[in-house]
Amino acid sequence: KNEVEQSPQNLTAQEGEFITINCSYSVGISALHWLQQHPGGGIVSLFMLSSGKKKHGRLIATINIQEKHSSLHITASHPRDSAVYICAGGGADGLTFGKGTHLIIQP
Amino acid sequence: NAGVTQTPKFQVLKTGQSMTLQCAQDMNHEYMSWYRQDPGMGLRLIHYSVGAGITDQGEVPNGYNVSRSTTEDFPLRLLSAAPSQTSVYFCASSPHGRYGYTFGSGTRLTVV
């Protein structure tokens, strides 16, 4: 069974801080997804990684295949980044999700 | 493009009632899937489909049926609703299941 572990569960930071969310996954996962869920409940796909690093605006996602570990970084964090960030492993039969990181950025 | 459309957004059912949650996508994606999201449990895969006519079970399939008669539609059926099926349900699609996913806006279901 595929497994995905995410940390921290909750994170509160001040505006402008550099944010890191970590994700570890098991053998059998071939791609790693980072998702964002806002308080309204909608889920948006941020990144899909199978190797290396991707960047979109202030968001950066990295993956280390040998260590089966991925990180999501937010630079110059802003209150509008407050959301739940979810790591998910993609395998042959769909996604296996971490339990999410509830991020609050205070002004 | 509408993306992935889920209906209804909210539903209250009595125990034992049946209903169908609708999911439609207009992106010609082969892969479609249903998830439920419960507090403290995260999102869990219910059923998925890799193309029209093909479906398979996910992690929590009991109490749910699916079919995929067209590429566009992937309905989720609750045959006899139970309070344990109170949850938020998301449908998602992907070109091949290993690429980026597009999620519907969710259906909040309460079974009383």
Tens digits of residue pLDDT in B96-110:
766 789 999 999 999
Name the band, by pLDDT with cuts 50, 70 and 90, for residue A31.
Answer: confident
Between the alpha carbon of residue B27 and those of residues A12, A101, B30, the distances in Å are 37, 30, 9
Query: pLDDT grade, residue B42 (50/70/90)?
Result: confident
Angle A87-A90-A91 (CA atoms, 0-180°, nearest 5)? 145
For the ranges A80-89, A92-101, B23-32, B49-58, the lowest mean pLDDT is seen at A92-101
Query: Nearest Cα to A89, choosing from A7, A34, A10?
Result: A34
Closest approach of B94 to chain A, Cα-based (Å): 10
Interface residues of chain A, partner chain B, Cβ below 8 Å: 30-31, 33, 35, 41-45, 48, 86, 88, 90, 92-100
pLDDT computed for residue B1 by the predictor: 62
Neighbours of B71 (CB within 10 A): 18
With bands split at pLDDT 50, 70 and 90, how would you rate the model's confidence at B44?
Answer: very high
Arithmetic mean of pLDDT over chain A: 93
Is residue A32 over pLDDT 80?
Answer: yes
pLDDT above 90: residue B61: yes
Top-confidence residue, A12 or A3 = A12
A95 contacts B101? CB cut-off 8 A: yes
Q: Which two tokens stand for residue B20?
A: 């169908």
Instruction: Tell me whether residues B90 and A43 touch, CB distance under 8 A.
Output: yes
User: What is the reported pLDDT for B98?
Assistant: 65
Residue pair B107/B64 in contact (Cβ under 8 Å)? The answer is: no
- Portion of chain A with pLDDT greater than 90, in percent: 77
Distance CA B82, CA A46 (A): 34
What pLDDT is stored for residue A62 in this prediction? 97
Question: Tell me, what's the pLDDT at A28?
Answer: 79
Report the range of poorest mean pLDDT among A4-18, A72-86, A90-104.
A90-104
